[in-house]
Chains A and B, each alone.
Chain A
């Protein structure tokens, strides 16, 4: 049987061996925790606490600033030190609540949040998910309760759990799947039951056979859940490509997954839904893979949100080189390079990837030789070389005409370019500009 997949894509060195066998272990922060009020797509959250207030683990410290927004909960107990702009991994300063950690980790009583599932209406479940501050944890940070409230609920027939984890080096979703598969299945069932006609698919790249086996065994008696092995290829876990591989339906940049009858959730998002509904625990922790060739050891940490990145680096024994070339928040294909380690872990922080050498600054762009590799690998089926040329000529009309807006910024074109041209960067920058112009 040929595996489910899409056209295009690349096979970079996956680096997963570095950390894939490291059991998830809890890391409790020692220092202050910082909570940016904007760590999701949509309106910033509004603080509910003020300087000097004492807060507990799991206490809501900021409230959604609109429907498309999300609550924020503290991961530590302690005192609110200040609310001020702080640096984030993305390199911008964001207004943040800073909590002085008292090291007690005194929790609110989560049992109060728990209601028997069979006595919850669908709206109650969605409300509980909203209350728990859950957002898409693959990195984009789209509020989950919004995703679960599509315009036409009857059209939703497929809930896809994204276990592809196609970004090289990342192993957090893999660890979740092999360590707590039953919570993933239960979490998925909660989501499936929100819709009348939905079935569930857990899509996993075939380089994770043990995860596929565990989840297949667990779901063999569940009629409405199937486990789909998908081909190991980047970007198999990109939303549009994943939907196509599993359902044969295509959507473009101006459509939502719901337009293909699908809702796609990241593994950690599903676990967060389980924690919120079954255990009454809001979102205040996540799994972060600390890896790369520049750290002494690697780890898959269960980390409290707000934890300082430097602490996690120290927790694996620090760097094995005085001057690491590059530290990336997230994976190597779509993650963000950081210039400071004094930033907090947020809901979308999937990994800290530390490279001894920065391969990008070591390679200098030269002339395009029109080899066509970018066209061949582009999962969006556009012509990156042409788009980059139009973009650098400032030809916005041409850029749109050649479907530049269909680019998902996956990075495949820059990766394969033998002339080392920064195709993704040029195209992404132009897309951003066009989107900004549209809003005016």
Chain B
């Protein structure tokens, strides 16, 4: 019989979800924050985003081509890294800065460790921290409406009062994508609703952070200080970090309990860095340190196999 039938091991059907599809949906979820960032900071923000995304894709394609690997930029992971990095940059940066950041994110953090899925820290955050340490001045110079101003978190740390409502809406100084809590929440809820991310990391991250902030307020004798809590939740990179950075598949735990532990750890670290650290911000460093602990967290949270330790029914 002349029939050319394909054989393979079961299962013979596959879900429609693909890597590119997932990356695409995260990019869509970042659109409210991206569009708001451009609206808030103007054309310069748009150009910074464009440069970062393009240089990330170009670096990835060039590296893979030169190494004789299959070029995988179609999986959109480099686009996503570029977008996340751009949203973590101040709107007023010289154009070489995002290019350098993209190089660090794609080449140093991602490709040198083996490419997609192999990096031990979030490429965009790794690059942000690299830039933050190397070019502290440029990375922390924030202007808003052409006036150099402090970010709300910095004002808060200096003991000044802040307008929680404008922090929620995002009409404040900050990096391109972090200012609008509401835009980030819309994107985060979209990711939760579509099942792209699991609730565990953001809920336990934000939850544990909120608990510690409230406890801190109590310890300082201010009672339950809701406006202080809100300012901390909506300020800085917390929303962006909790929904889009901490949930990065590659650099967060894969086990359900590990995700809870990871979320709590990030909440504690962010609290410590923001309240007791030298800088007003602490999300990026908290997540980076959390990333490094992921292998250990996974090791102690291996799920219990079905029926393990079951006893005979008599």
* Chain A residues at the B interface, C-beta cutoff of 8 Å: 6-7, 10, 12-13, 91, 152, 155, 157, 168, 240-241, 244, 249-253, 255, 259-261, 310, 323-328, 332-342, 353, 355, 358-361, 363, 366-373, 375-376, 379-383, 385-386, 402-403, 406, 409, 411, 414-420, 422, 424-425, 428
Task: Note all chain A residues with C-beta closer than 8 A to B4.
Answer: 323
**B73 smallest CB distance to A (angstroms):** 12
| Sample of 10 further A-B pairs with CB below 8 A, known A325-B6, A368-B117, A425-B8 | A337-B5, A337-B7, A337-B10, A341-B1, A360-B6, A363-B14, A380-B305, A386-B254, A415-B13, A419-B19
| CB-based contact A370/B11 at 8 Å | no
B72 nearest in chain A by CB position: A366
Q: A375-B256, A385-B254 are in contact. Are A415 and B15 (CB under 8 A)?
A: yes
Q: Which residue of B lies closest to A419 (CB)?
A: B19
Q: List 26 A-B contacts (CB under 8 A).
A: A155-B312, A240-B307, A241-B306, A251-B307, A252-B306, A260-B312, A310-B1, A326-B7, A337-B12, A338-B5, A339-B5, A341-B3, A359-B12, A361-B8, A367-B118, A368-B117, A369-B249, A372-B198, A383-B255, A383-B303, A406-B306, A411-B10, A418-B19, A418-B21, A419-B117, A424-B11
A372–B254 CB distance below 8 A: yes
User: Complex formed: what's the CA distance from A362 to B259 in Å?
Assistant: 33
Closest chain B residue to A380, Cβ basis: B306
Contacts of B310 in A (CB 8 A): 249-252, 255, 259-260
Partner of A383, one of B18, B22, B250, B302: B302
Q: How far is the CA of A59 from the CA of B6 in the complex (A)?
A: 37
| Nearest CB in chain B to that of A375: its residue | B254
- State in angstroms the CA–CA spacing of A251 and B21 once bound together: 38
Most chain B CB neighbours (cut-off 10 Å) among A7, A259, A335: A259
The B299-314 residues at the A interface (CB cut-off 8 A) are 302-310, 312-314
The answer to whether B160 has its CB under 8 Å from any CB of chain A is: no
- Chain A residue numbers with a CB within 8 Å of B314 are 152, 155
Interface assignment of B116: CB less than 8 Å from any CB of chain A: yes
Main secondary structure of the interface of B (DSSP, over half): loop
- Complex CA gap A358/B4 in Å reads 12
* Chain A proximity mask over B100-126: 1 for CB below 8 Å, otherwise 0: 000000000000000111100000000
CA A142 to CA B302, docked complex, whole Å: 33
Q: Is the CB of B6 within 8 A of A381?
A: no
Please state if B313 and A259 are interface contacts (CB–CB under 8 Å). Answer: yes
Which residue from A7, A338, A402, A411 sits with its C-beta under 8 Å from B11? A411
Quick check: A358 and B12 within 8 Å, CB to CB?
yes
Among B9, B77, B115, B302, residue most surrounded by chain A Cβ atoms (within 10 Å): B9
Q: For B254, what are the chain A residues with a Cβ–Cβ distance below 8 Å?
A: 370-372, 375, 383, 385-386
Write out the residue numbers on chain B whose beta carbons fall within 8 Å of the beta carbon of A333: 10-13
Q: Are B1 and A369 in contact (CB under 8 A)?
A: no
Residue in A334, A375, A376, A381 whose CB lies within 8 Å of B10: A334
Question: What are the 5 A-B residue pairs with the smallest beta carbon separation, nearest first?
Answer: A411-B11, A252-B307, A403-B305, A425-B9, A337-B7
Query: Given A252-B306, A336-B10, A383-B302, are A369 and B15 neighbors across the interface (CB < 8 Å)?
Result: no
Selected contact of B305 from candidates A168, A327, A406, CB within 8 Å: A406
Task: Give CA–CA (A360, B14) in the complex, Å.
Answer: 7
Q: What residues make up the interface of B, taking CB atoms closer than 8 Å to A?
A: 1, 3-15, 17-19, 21-22, 72, 75, 77, 115-118, 198, 249-250, 252, 254-256, 259, 302-310, 312-314
B308's closest neighbor in chain A, by CB?
Answer: A252
From B22, B256, B313, give the contact of A155 (CB < 8 A): B313
Given contacts A358-B8, A425-B9, contact A250 B14 (CB under 8 A): no
For B5, B10, B117, B312, the residue with the greatest tally of chain A CB atoms inside 10 Å of its CB is B10
A340 x B3 contact (CB < 8 A): yes
Choose from B7, B17, B18, B72 the contact partner of A339 (Cβ within 8 Å). Answer: B7
CB proximity of A406 to chain B, nearest CB, Å:
4
Contact partners of B256 in chain A: CB under 8 A = 375-376
Q: Nearest-CB distance from A9 to chain B (Å)?
A: 11
B233: shortest Cβ distance to chain A, in Å? Answer: 26
Is the CB–CB distance between B13 and A370 below 8 Å?
no
Residue of A nearest to B304 (CB): A381
Please, which residues of chain A bring their CB within 8 A of the CB of B3? 323, 340-341
Report the separation of the CA atoms of residues A250 and B6 in the bound assembly, to the nearest whole angstrom.
38
Determine if A369 and B19 form an interchain contact, defined as CB atoms under 8 angstroms apart.
Answer: yes
Q: How far is the CB of B92 from chain A (nearest CB, A)?
A: 34
Chain A residues with Cβ under 8 A from B303's Cβ? 375, 381-383
B255's closest neighbor in chain A, by CB? A375
Residue of A nearest to B7 (CB): A337
Chain A residues with CB below 8 A from B11, complex form: 332-334, 411, 414-415, 424
Interface centre among B22, B308, B309, by most chain A C-beta atoms within 10 angstroms, is B308
Q: Which of B10, B72, B198, B305 contacts A382 (CB 8 A)?
A: B305
Decide if B306 touches A381 in the complex (CB within 8 Å).
Answer: yes
Evaluate whether A261 and B10 lie within 8 angstroms (CB atoms) in the complex, with A380-B306, A416-B17, A418-B18 already known.
Answer: no
* Nearest CB of chain B from residue A429's CB, rounded to whole Å: 8
B-chain residues with CB within 8 Å of residue A255 when the two chains form the complex = 307, 310, 312
Minimal Cβ-Cβ distance residue in A for B75: A366
Q: How far is the CB of B80 from chain A (nearest CB, A)?
A: 11
Knowing A252-B310, A418-B18, A418-B22, the reply to whether A360 touches B12 (Cβ < 8 A) is: yes
User: Considering residues B15, B17, B115, which has the most beta carbons from chain A within 10 angstroms of its beta carbon?
Assistant: B15
Contacts of A155 in B (CB 8 A): 312-314
- Contact residues in B for A338 (Cβ distance below 8 Å): 5, 7
Chain B residue nearest in CB terms to A403: B305
> Which residue in chain A gives the minimum CB-CB distance to B3?
A341
Q: Inside 8 A of A368's CB, which chain B residues have their CB? A: 117
- State in angstroms the CA–CA spacing of A150 and B242 once bound together: 54
A353–B312 Cα gap in the complex (Å)?
38
Closest residue to A407 on the B side, CB-wise? B305
Contacts of A381 in B (CB 8 A): 303-306
Given the complex of chains A and B, what is the CA–CA distance between A328 and B9 in angstroms? 10
Query: Whole-angstrom distance between the alpha carbons of A260 and B185 in the complex?
Result: 47
Docked-complex contact A367 and B116, CB < 8 angstroms: yes
When distances are taken between beta carbons in the complex, the residues of chain B under 8 Å from A260 are: 310, 312-313
Measured between alpha carbons, how far is A22 from B209 in the docked complex, in Å?
59
- Known A250-B310, A252-B307, A341-B1; contact A418-B115, beta-carbon cutoff 8 A: no
Q: How far is the CB of A362 from chain B (nearest CB, A)?
A: 9
The answer for the CA separation of A274 and B250 in the assembled complex, in Å, is: 54
Q: Which has the most chain B C-beta neighbours within 10 Å: A168, A335, A339, A367?
A: A367
Using A252-B308, A326-B6, A337-B5 as known contacts, say yes or no to A366 and B13 having CB atoms under 8 A apart: no
A359-B13, A411-B10 known; A240 and B250 CB under 8 Å? no
- Would A250 and B307 count as touching, CB distance under 8 A? yes
